[in-house]
Structure 1
Amino acid sequence: MTRPGSAGYDYDVVIGGAGLAGSAAAILLARRGVRVALLERRSDPEAYKVLCTHSLQADAYPVLDELGLLPALEKAGAVRNVARWYTRWGWIEPRAAPAGPELPYGYNIRRSTLDPLIRSRAAKTPGVDLLLGHRVTGLVPQAGRTSGVRAATPQGEREIRARLVVGADGKDSAVAKSAGVPARTYENARFGYLAHFRGLPLRGGVGHTWFLEPDMAYAFPNDDGVTVIAVLPDKKRLPAFREDLEGSFFAYVRALPEAPPIDSAERITKIIGTVDYPFHSRTPTALGVALIGDAALTGDPLWGVGCGWALQSAQWLAEAVAPAAIGRGDLNRSLAAYARRHRRRLRGHQYLAADFAKSRPFNPLERLMFSAAARDESVARHMHLFASRLISPLQFLNPLTLAKASAVNIKHRGAAAPSLHQPPTGS
């Protein structure tokens, strides 16, 4: 039986890009009865994204659960990503409240493990056709909107018609460019390099992040006993790294407080990175087009939010457009609902990240919150929720929390001040 309004379409939805966002969207849409063509420009089903934090924040957990990936991630050795953060006031170490639930968590897992896993799940999902070696080269217009894509394939150019085209093809999205969707660009005053090590213990077996104002670094344990270490210095340090990448990378890590012992560990990859990584935001929809993952919003890699936002945006899109994608609703209205949710959930986080990407020291509000979190467990838990993107910036900086942080710091200063009735000790 022909679906309502399906005449002339090869699929209900065609997705460009079979990474995290595209594969997740394909699975979630197909489970809702949508026929999906999932295009991937690379021909190797084991292909994966190399330059990544390899971190799935806790905001991605519900999506991973809906996808049914949690048992497979645990079996693959994914590491639950509770972390500690160094600041000039000491370490922030979020812990569960004594009588409360465990802290929300996501996973650290290498993309070489994760990408083939989710792509394979998509390929096995009824209603999804995974088309490897298909690179989007343009869009098919019809009556003022997009109604499909043109793709280069090993057999030559082909046209695939669909009611909705989804761009899940990364920050340089061919879908977005072909649709004429402009990007707002934010400059990044830091650069970054990372490498993978085996046999590198971290205190407590948890991830470490260093806020060095303005420089940054992190070390995250991953599957198969591999730890990824990344350095994100101010661009003032760039000449030294260009002159001697390996020497500068190792010297930078050795100088970190409680530095990981990289000299005794085995480096199993090259040191890779980028000296210029601006990030951007795009309007996530156009007529007949939706953007998810990095195609819609590329965040600062310093925060490790890209994988989680890729999965979340795929879920938000599937929830909003599935009925309309099979001809049982207004597609324009559904796309508008997706765009509103995307902006509401991510715009504030992106704004704060863009401001911090100026490579500046902490501002007064950040000093208040980070110093209090280093001194008080409840503030540390609150910061963990924000760093995991489970609460919005407004929730993070709500008046009650700011008052709590102020009280913590006032109490700390009072305890640190010498008593007027006791002589100072020491010489």
Structure 2
Amino acid sequence: MTDTYDVVVNGASVAGCAAAVLYARRGAKVALLERRSDINAHKVLCTHYIQPCGYPVLAELGLIGELEEAGAVRNSAQYWTRWGWIRPEDRVGPGVLPHGYNVRREVLDPMLRRLAASTKGVDLLLGHTVNELLTDDGRVVGVAGTAGGERFEVRATLVVGADGKDSAIAKLAGTPSETSPNNRFSYFAHFRGLPRPEGHSAKAYYLEPDNAYVMPNDDDITVISVLPSMERLGEFKADLEGAYRRFVKALPDAPDIDAAERVTKITGTVNYPLVVRESTGPGYALVGDAALTSDPLAAVGCAWAMQSAHWLADTTAPAVLGHGDLGAALNNYRKRRAENLKAHAHLIADYATARPFNHIERFTFSAAARDSRMAEHFHVFGSRLMSVPDFLSPWAVARCSMVNGRALLRPRAQPVHSGERVLTGQGAR
């Protein structure tokens, strides 16, 4: 049997569910296909962090109240650097700056699927595996595959690939792509019972070249991830448990994992390349990780999945419903994605080489560690709510210059020997 829809979305995770709901609310009839049969299935390899740039889409989906009721943590962050901590909320206090949510995918994914299934105009089809594209004169017009051992076909005006970094839609369409190496690997585990700072701030560590993060989540769970450079891979392969624990315990202001309950095994990946694909083709579009798989260190996957779903529905829904040219609408989506994400994605890919900080990073990170206003500026940029040119605006450059200039002019405290002790700074006075 062949069913006909306005839109068929392959992949019922963050990007796919968001796209399906947003298209349906704009009047489209949507088939949402998911290869897994369990509505509660969820992604495991994830930062469980929704950047503040994803908040408007969550609000449009109507999920803010449900997320908070489920215990999702309003996220803020502190960033450790060689110049000390960057603390964006030191001046404004917890909850004032833009926030997203920390929430485990085992909570988020079923929530999104149930929202999609209850949305008028969406047919959620679980257990459907796509293995073929239907085409007409070089244009994608639908998908085919298997469900319960039988073949199915779904035709649509637009096919959306929301099926992750190994996107079947992208592979079947032969979508052009570029791959960049990730010279860090990652391992993480979930702990229950760790003390939480005021405002439940996440902590990100820039250890040059290694990185780590400690992220409070729902249900009193804290996700602790280590992201060492590839130079340390042998150490972790030889003794994963020991290497992970040593790494965490060596962090500045390290969480006391010995006093907490670890509720998951140590999980991770040693090969996570960054992939950028052409986001559109004749009759199809890609959203989320299918279009752009970024570095887990940047924690942008969930928010960019929601944003790209919103941009796609917003730019193409009229054409899907017969009010305009679909090719032109897809071109507008591609341009909108590039305008918002290309520069950020380039910086993330460059830093994924595990290189030391460059001159601009040293200039801005050091100022943000020394000045609360620059810390706020840094946080908004890291939340992907600010463009790269705005981050390096004349005001920001002048402020960094002033802050760092004052630090260079400040006399360094000389060690004062007192018996067996060596006192520095205020202790020497």
In the alignment, structure 1 residue 68 sits paired with structure 2 residue 87? no
Show CA shifts across 1:249-300 (max 9, x none): 0000000000000111100001000011101111100000000000000110
Equivalent residue number for residue 401 of structure 1: 396
Q: Distance in 2 between matches of 1:393 and 1:281?
A: 19
Q: Distance in 2 between matches of 1:29 and 1:393?
A: 30
The answer as to whether partners of 1:9 and 1:163 remain within 8 angstroms in 2 is no
Show CA shifts across 1:111-162 (max 9, x none): 0000000110000000000000001101000022000001211141111100
Question: Structure 1 residues 418, 75: closer, same or farther in 2, change over 3 A?
Answer: closer
In the alignment, structure 1 residue 224 sits paired with structure 2 residue 219? yes
User: 1:11-30, aligned counterparts within 5 Å?
Assistant: 11-30=5-24
Question: Structure 1 residues 99, 217: closer, same or farther in 2, change over 3 A?
Answer: closer
Question: Residue 382 of structure 1: CA displacement?
Answer: 0.3
The answer as to whether partners of 1:200 and 1:261 remain within 8 angstroms in 2 is yes
User: 1:10-409, aligned counterparts within 5 Å?
Assistant: 10-95=4-89, 97-98=91-92, 102-204=96-198, 205-409=200-404
Q: Distance in 2 between matches of 1:98 and 1:309?
A: 27
Equivalent residue number for residue 421 of structure 2: none
Equivalent residue number for residue 419 of structure 2: none
Q: Distance in 1 between matches of 2:32 and 2:413?
A: 67
Equivalent residue number for residue 5 of structure 1: none
SS at 1:140's partner residue?
strand
Paired amino acid for 2:283 = G
Q: Distance in 2 between matches of 1:110 and 1:305?
A: 15
Paired amino acid for 1:45 = I
The answer as to whether partners of 1:168 and 1:292 remain within 8 angstroms in 2 is yes
Q: Distance in 2 between matches of 1:199 and 1:271?
A: 17
Q: Distance in 1 between matches of 2:79 and 2:305?
A: 24
Question: Residue 360 of structure 1: CA displacement?
Answer: 1.1
Q: Distance in 1 between matches of 2:207 and 2:349?
A: 18
Question: Residue 9 of structure 1: CA displacement?
Answer: 6.8
Q: Distance in 2 between matches of 1:56 and 1:140?
A: 34
SS at 2:244's partner residue?
helix
SS at 2:271's partner residue?
coil
Question: Residue 102 of structure 1: CA displacement?
Answer: 1.6
SS at 2:246's partner residue?
helix
The answer as to whether partners of 1:134 and 1:153 remain within 8 angstroms in 2 is yes
Question: Structure 1 residues 287, 96: closer, same or farther in 2, change over 3 A?
Answer: farther
- TM-score normalised according to structure 1 size: 0.95
The answer as to whether partners of 2:3 and 2:153 remain within 8 angstroms in 1 is no
Show CA shifts across 1:15-39 (max 9, x none): 0000000000000000000000000
Question: Residue 98 of structure 1: CA displacement?
Answer: 5.0
Paired amino acid for 1:119 = R
The answer as to whether partners of 1:202 and 1:260 remain within 8 angstroms in 2 is no
SS at 2:213's partner residue?
strand
Q: Distance in 1 between matches of 2:71 and 2:142?
A: 39
Show CA shifts across 1:327-353 (max 9, x none): 121100100000000011000011001
Question: Structure 1 residues 13, 44: closer, same or farther in 2, change over 3 A?
Answer: same
In the alignment, structure 1 residue 416 sits paired with structure 2 residue 411? yes
Q: Distance in 2 between matches of 1:211 and 1:84?
A: 11
Question: Residue 202 of structure 1: CA displacement?
Answer: 3.6
The answer as to whether partners of 2:88 and 2:376 remain within 8 angstroms in 1 is yes
Question: Structure 1 residues 221, 418: closer, same or farther in 2, change over 3 A?
Answer: closer
Question: Structure 1 residues 100, 109: closer, same or farther in 2, change over 3 A?
Answer: closer
Paired amino acid for 2:399 = K
- TM-score normalised according to structure 2 size: 0.94
Question: Residue 97 of structure 1: CA displacement?
Answer: 4.9
The answer as to whether partners of 2:367 and 2:400 remain within 8 angstroms in 1 is yes
The answer as to whether partners of 1:148 and 1:159 remain within 8 angstroms in 2 is yes
Question: Residue 303 of structure 1: CA displacement?
Answer: 0.9
